[in-house]
Amino acid sequence: MTPHTPATPRYSRIVGTGSMLPPRRVTNADMAADLARRGIDTSDEWIVARTGIHARHFAEPGVPASDLAVVAARQALEAAGCGPEGIDLIIVATSTPDMVFPSTACIVQAKLGIQGCPAFDVQAVCSGFVYALTVADAMIRAGSASRALVIGAEVFSRLLDFNDRTTCVLFGDGAGAVVLEASECPGLLATDLHADGRHVGILCVPGHVSGGQVSGHPLLQMDGQAVFKLAVGVLEQAARRVLAKAGREESDIDWLIPHQANIRIMQGTARKLRMPLDKLIVTVDEHGNTSAASIPLALDVALRSGRIQRGDTLLLEGVGGGFTWGAVLLDL
């Protein structure tokens, strides 16, 4: 009788990143001028003081989320030294899909010339990338995939009410992608996901298509104060849970890459973790809030600029509508 040999543990590791920002950069001055034409008062100083945002990028009409996703995906594939044919799982996190169905992931799959592998969307709003990365990691660990393309892609400008100065100045469009590959050495160390549907109403787009017509309200609505209060608390909890799962300490974190929503939320989270602010990756100033795209966008920018190095320990944290939140601790 042949003795049973224990299977080698299977982990996942990020081996390539990519990103895409639409060419059209919209400054706070541009936003203020546009809103002034609508009789709405705002200014660069007002926006920066409350959010830390100086500019954002908007996709041109007719450019769908999948177009942004494909550019980011190709960059990530190139960085990973992998062709599209090497991908056996595609997950796209988005709240602004190209169509009601099929999924944006299937559209991306077709545009990349990939056939046969599973492809699906994840909808957890601004937590979407953390959710998608967690699902891909679980599928790789289970042996259901070996090399996954995980993308966050949004054209959030399509959901904005440009008569509401408290929300329309916050968001931007973009995409970020990673290639997640099976590995004998741990890359993703631990993940932690949560949701609380009691808070649906504080951040939502309460509309849908029914009988060929828009039913409900198809533009973003947000209770900013309620989101702020909830976000800082749950992000700290998720960070501590993921550290505990991995057997790591706060001091082990080299870089914090939170969802890029608001500089005050981001800095508040860093302080609660006793992390110096120079270890906080910030792109919200130039990108605005790109929802599910914000974390992979920030990761790619920081990696390509040389701030983040291979071997660094990163804490990724997302929080968004639902209310959803989560964290991923990883060694790059």
One digit per residue, the tens of pLDDT, for the chain of length 332 reads: 455 555 677 999 999 999 999 999 999 999 999 999 999 999 999 999 999 999 999 999 999 999 999 999 999 999 999 999 999 999 999 999 999 999 999 999 999 999 999 999 999 999 999 999 999 999 999 999 999 999 999 999 999 999 999 999 999 999 999 999 999 999 999 999 999 999 999 999 999 999 999 999 999 999 999 999 999 999 999 999 999 999 999 999 999 999 999 999 999 999 999 999 999 999 999 999 999 999 999 999 999 999 999 999 999 999 999 999 999 999 99
- 267 contacts 326 by C-beta, under 8 angstroms: no
Sign of CA dihedral 187, 289, 124, 238: positive
- 43 contacts 36 by C-beta, under 8 angstroms: no
The residue among 128, 131, 135, 138 whose CA lies nearest residue 93 is 128
Scanning the chain, the segments in alpha helix (DSSP H) are: 28-37, 44-51, 65-80, 104-112, 128-141, 165-168, 224-246, 263-272, 284-287, 294-304
> pTM for the complete prediction?
0.96
Beta bridge partners of 313: 331
Helix (H, G, I), strand (E, B) or coil at 316: strand
Residue 127 tokens, joined? 């937590």
The residues carrying an active-site annotation are 126, 259, 289
Q: What fold does the segment set 11-185 form as a domain?
A: Peroxisomal Thiolase; Chain A, domain 1 (3.40.47)
Burial of 211 (0-12, 13-18, 19+ CB in 10 A): exposed
Beta bridge partners of 20: 175
**What DSSP state is assigned to residue 99?**
S
Helix (H, G, I), strand (E, B) or coil at 152: strand
End-to-end CA distance of the chain, in Å? 42
Q: For the chain, where do the domains classified as CATH 3.40.47.10 start and end?
A: 11-185, 189-331
**What DSSP state is assigned to residue 55?**
E
Superfamily (CATH H level) for 189-331: Thiolase/Chalcone synthase (3.40.47.10)
**pLDDT on residue 7:** 64
- 316 contacts 126 by C-beta, under 8 angstroms: no
